[in-house]
A and B are shown apart, each in its own frame.
Chain A
Amino acid sequence: MPNIITRRQFVATVATGAVLATGKTARAQSGFLGWMGRWNERVDRALFGSDRLAAELPPAEATPANAFPSYFISEDMPVAPAGWVLKVGGLVARPTTFSLEQLQHLTRTEFGGI
């Protein structure tokens, strides 16, 4: 029964994993989480199916352009909390942080809406 062996390994991994996961789960590329992450990537690929096209709807069933996506006027406006920063870290060449002001001064690209 391969299921049982997999789950025994899994229980052992979870036991050690639970102990190790006291801080941030930074090393998600290796070990149990890495293995499961690659499994999930395979599931993603199966769901996407790179060699088949998405189903084409007859024009009558297509969502009218003005009905999608559904925009609405929000009752509250999101405001960045005091001291908010965007932290760029992990597998990047230059880990850094951006304040909201710095972000707003970066080069902008405007996209036209519908």
Chain B
Amino acid sequence: MEATDWQERWQGRRAQPWLIRLTHWLNVPLLLLMAGSGLQIFAAYPALGPRGARYGWYPWDGVLPPTWAQFGGWLAGGRHWHFALGWFLVLNGIVYLSYMAARGEWRRRSFRPHRDARNAVLMLLYYLRLRRAAPPIDFYNGLQRLAYSAIMVIALAEVLSGLAIYKPVQLWWLGSLFGGYDGARAVHLIGLGLLALFTAMHLVMVTLHPRAILTMLTGGKRA
């Protein structure tokens, strides 16, 4: 895209439009409560693989998640919360993705290999202190775009694997995508781990660049 084209497209648009800010902040309580209620459910059988034939590669086989990380009080409570809030997380994601598509926001936010791959590598080298100067950044750097796009793929896998273990009989075809019920369960837990890792990295990055928090609250200046 030409530079003038770029300027014209985002003319008058805030860096973080209100719908993006709203869906972003709604994710905070939703993901926290989904993770907590999910771990509450997981605590009923904290292992991967079918009973009696566990996979064996899961390093915390049989280890209960810490009680402070569980939400809902007991198995049924965790299930009530998980299945109630899951719809709102999905709805939030649909609103976000629809807005990205309708307003062309995906152009400046999503990772496109031919544009961002080189920039992402250079940025990584910069963060690893293997390169002195940061590569030129337009709206986001390549590494940001890669992270924000990858988390969408992870979120989608999380929703699909979640549906597969929510209704394993009716949605058997969905489960078969993940290698059956136990495969879907493993994907669902690994997805939680990746979401947690993303959140931790995200928190480190915004601590280093606190201005980003302000932009996500106010929307930032109009372009």
Contacts and interface: CB of A to CB of B under 8 A. Distances in A.
A78 B84 CA distance: 32
Classify chain A: how many residues form its interface, as a range.
20 to 34
Interface in A1-32: 3-4, 7, 10-11, 14, 18, 21-25, 28, 32
Contacts of B171: 47
Nearest to A40: B83
Given A3-B91, A74-B52, A21 B73 contact: yes
Given A3-B95, A21-B73, A24-B73, A33 B80 contact: yes
9 contacts: A14-B33, A24-B73, A24-B77, A33-B84, A36-B85, A36-B87, A37-B83, A74-B53, A75-B53
Contacts of A14: 29, 33, 85
Contact of B80 (A11, A37, A48, A78): A37
B51 A47 contact: no
B76 interface: yes
A98 interface: no
A84 interface: no
A18 B87 contact: no
B52 A39 contact: no
Contact of A28 (B29, B52, B76, B92): B76
A63 to B, nearest CB: 12
A72 interface: yes
Given A3-B95, A48-B170, A21 B87 contact: no
Residue among B52, B72, B84, B170 having the largest count of chain A Cβ atoms under 10 Å: B84
Contact of B84 (A22, A24, A37): A37
A78 B85 CA distance: 33
B127 to A, nearest CB: 35
B72 A21 contact: yes
B83 A36 contact: yes
Nearest to A70: B50
Interface string B81-98: 101110110011001000
B140 interface: no
Contacts of A22: 73
Given A32-B84, A40-B83, A21 B29 contact: no
B10 interface: no
A76 interface: yes
A36 B22 CA distance: 22
Nearest to A72: B53
A25 B73 contact: yes
B6 interface: no
Given A18-B33, A21-B73, A28 B80 contact: yes
B26 interface: yes
B111 interface: no
Contacts of B51: 74, 78
Interface in B12-47: 22, 26, 29, 33
B52 A75 contact: yes
Contacts of A39: 87
A25 B170 contact: no
